[in-house]
Amino acid sequence: MPKTSRKTSHDRNTGAPQGAAQPPFDIQAADVVFRTADGVDFHVYKIILSLSSPFFAEMFSLKPPPSLSDVTSVANEPIVIPETAKTFDALLRICYPVDNPDFDDLSFAETVLEAAVKYQIAVARKVISIDRFAQTHPLRVFAIACRLQLEDEAAHAADVYKKAHFSGFDNRKTVIPSELFPDSTLRLSAGQCYRLFQYCLKSSTRPILFSKHYDPCAPIKTAPLSAQEKVAPPSFTIAGADIVLRSIEGEDFATHTVLLRLVGAEALIDSTYTAISEETGPLPVTQVAVSSHTLRDFLAVLHPASCYEVNDALRLWNLTQFSIHHSFPTILDACRKQAIRVCASQPLATYLVAAHAGWQGEALTAARLLVSQQIQDMYSPVMEDTSASIYCSLLRFHRDSADSVSKVLNSSVSGCSQGITNPTLRPSSIYTPVVERELSLFVTAGSETCRGCQQPVSPLTEDTQADPAPSGNRGKSSKKRINKYYIHDPHSSCKYDVSQLLASSAALEKRIEEALLKVTLS
């Protein structure tokens, strides 16, 4: 097929085709013509596409307006599509009673499968099997399947990935090696990456829906808006409003054009039309492709007399995205200040919002608040719209912080009596969970030694002991007593307890804090 230069949509509609399609898509008697992005005309039969695709069946069932029904030159114009000739040719061969094309290349299979999902050609999923690529490219197949919502393919790829990289993984470790992080080119969301790691690290047999927006460990239920929440604040319906912003739910918000111009929102003013609103009367209306919640937050922050605070990180994310999309720097500055306020209570979501918006200081502050927490088990709805690379950057920061704590402990803790003076003099540090986590392997693994007394430590597992059989009950089975040990228990021989050590050692705590402050986001 000859290479041609790409023209505009108008040129392709009115100009001559740039190439001829391969048989059987060159039959001039066919009743519809599609023109691809590279200018190739495909002559196809409507009945074949209608039987293969509900999308095309509905499109062909629509009748043209009466003013155009008798104009042959207009009605027979090619339908311009964004796919290339190579992709559309393969897609049509799946629908036609001809030999199916070969899909030996994953990139080509992905492109055609994506078009098939778009045009609702279900049979393509059987013809284009991406499962066979899972053994060599499990993460890439997983990303494709999640993006196209192919749950069976995603589950198979996740299983292959788990067996290849997590079969011998020690679940007591709290960090995932960076070489297992997905590449940024895979277009995975943080939520999909989180569910993949949950599947690989957990032993639960409950199936995980990888492409769905939820936390498999604790599904989030969103309560519907109450009637009071649906009512716009009084400041949005003040007298003198000269424009109405309408949300995607159809809710109207009256405001002033002068306020919109102050934040550079001229685009919202210029795209208005006159309509009758039940609440505001005949005012110019702008349809805004955003939810009522986000539009309400936008106008509340916009109002000069407002002290409005967005206390929910998900709503802050939506408002930030809306402001970035429409280039509202004033609103973005307000969002940045709001992020600082919610950081302490919602550090994970704040980090995701700040990192996506490029607020490095706020992102670093939130990341440091997460150092002492098990972030691999933490979920936020914001993760569904954030890239996996941002999430993996946080995991990497968490790992580097743990490494820094380990280095301090390796050089500071050498004996069980070191630093222990009076444990009651100082409160327990926020870094105590980090230190306990780093030392847990030394009091649970049989091949390791205790940090306190340097003696070998037996594995601390469930210890089953048989109680002596009561007199007169010989020959009968005796009850068993189970002693459970936990990783934060002090060593039984020397009573070494890192919590007391850290709580009593201001110098060690200071060294840990200084080491953590040197860790940066990558």
Domains of the chain: 9-118 (3.30.710.10), 230-308 (3.30.710.10), 413-464+481-522 (no CATH)
CA distance 240 to 328: 24
The model's pLDDT over 304-341, given as tens digits with 9 standing for 90+, comes to 666 677 888 889 999 999 999 888 888 899 899 989 88
Give CA angle at 434 (507, 446), nearest 5°: 105
pLDDT of res. 214: 73
Given a cut of 70, whether residue 359 has pLDDT beyond it is yes
The average confidence (pLDDT) of the chain is 75
**Are 352 and 383 within 8 A, CB to CB?**
yes
Residue with the bigger pLDDT between 146 and 266: it is 146
pLDDT of res. 220: 42
The model's pLDDT over 447-501, given as tens digits with 9 standing for 90+, comes to 455 555 556 555 444 444 444 444 454 444 444 433 333 334 455 555 555 555 5
Bridge-based pairing of strands 79-80 and 32-35 is parallel
Please report, for residues 235, 269, 294, the alpha-carbon distance to residue 261 in angstroms, rounded to integers and kept in the order given. Answer: 18, 8, 19
CA distance 476 to 276: 88
Give CA angle at 137 (136, 140), nearest 5°: 175
The sign of the CA dihedral 228, 231, 236, 239 is negative
CB atoms within 10 A of CB 515: 18
pLDDT of res. 320: 93
User: Would you place residue 169 in the very low, low, confident or very high pLDDT band (cuts 50, 70, 90)?
Assistant: low
**Are 471 and 495 within 8 A, CB to CB?**
no
The model's pLDDT over 117-143, given as tens digits with 9 standing for 90+, comes to 999 999 998 899 899 999 999 999 999
Residue with the bigger pLDDT between 346 and 309: it is 346
Q: What are phi and psi of 89, to 5 degrees?
A: -60, -45
Q: Which two tokens stand for residue 446?
A: 């049989």
Say how many Å lie between the first and final Cα of the chain, rounded: 45
Q: Which of 252, 239, 357, 242 is nearest to 296 (CA)?
A: 252
H helical segments located in 83-185: 85-95, 106-118, 123-127, 138-147, 151-165
Q: Which of 291, 320, 295 is nearest to 245 (CA)?
A: 295
Instruction: Write the CB contacts of 231 (distance below 8 Å, at least 6 apart in sequence).
Output: none
CB atoms within 10 A of CB 93: 18
CA distance 438 to 406: 6
**DSSP of 467-510, one letter per residue?**
PPPPTT-TTSPPPEEEE---TTSPPTTT---HHHHHHH-HHHHH
Q: Which of 224, 275, 218, 203 is nearest to 246 (CA)?
A: 275
At 243, the amino acid letter reads I
The sign of the CA dihedral 26, 32, 33, 34 is negative
pLDDT of res. 311: 82
User: Would you place residue 252 in the very low, low, confident or very high pLDDT band (cuts 50, 70, 90)?
Assistant: confident
Q: What mean pLDDT is predicted for residues 250-272?
A: 80
pTM: 0.73
Q: Which of 41, 36, 48 is nearest to 76 (CA)?
A: 41
**Are 145 and 164 within 8 A, CB to CB?**
no
H helical segments located in 232-371: 257-262, 266-270, 292-302, 313-326, 329-342, 347-357, 360-369
Most confident of 69-83, 145-159, 201-215: 145-159
Given a cut of 50, whether residue 262 has pLDDT beyond it is yes
CA distance 316 to 105: 41
Window from 123-127, 160-164, 170-174, 325-329 with minimum mean pLDDT: 170-174
Q: What mean pLDDT is predicted for residues 346-368?
A: 93
**DSSP of 195-220, one letter per residue?**
HHHHHHH----S---TTSSS-SSS--
The model's pLDDT over 10-42, given as tens digits with 9 standing for 90+, comes to 343 444 566 789 999 999 999 999 999 999 999
Kindly state the percentage of the chain with pLDDT values over 90: 34
Window from 191-195, 206-210, 476-480 with minimum mean pLDDT: 476-480
pLDDT of res. 347: 93
CA distance 185 to 176: 20
Given a cut of 80, whether residue 237 has pLDDT beyond it is no
The model's pLDDT over 377-422, given as tens digits with 9 standing for 90+, comes to 889 999 999 999 999 999 999 888 888 887 887 776 544 334 333 3
Q: What mean pLDDT is predicted for residues 279-289?
A: 75
Q: Which two tokens stand for residue 69?
A: 């029904």
Given a cut of 70, whether residue 53 has pLDDT beyond it is yes
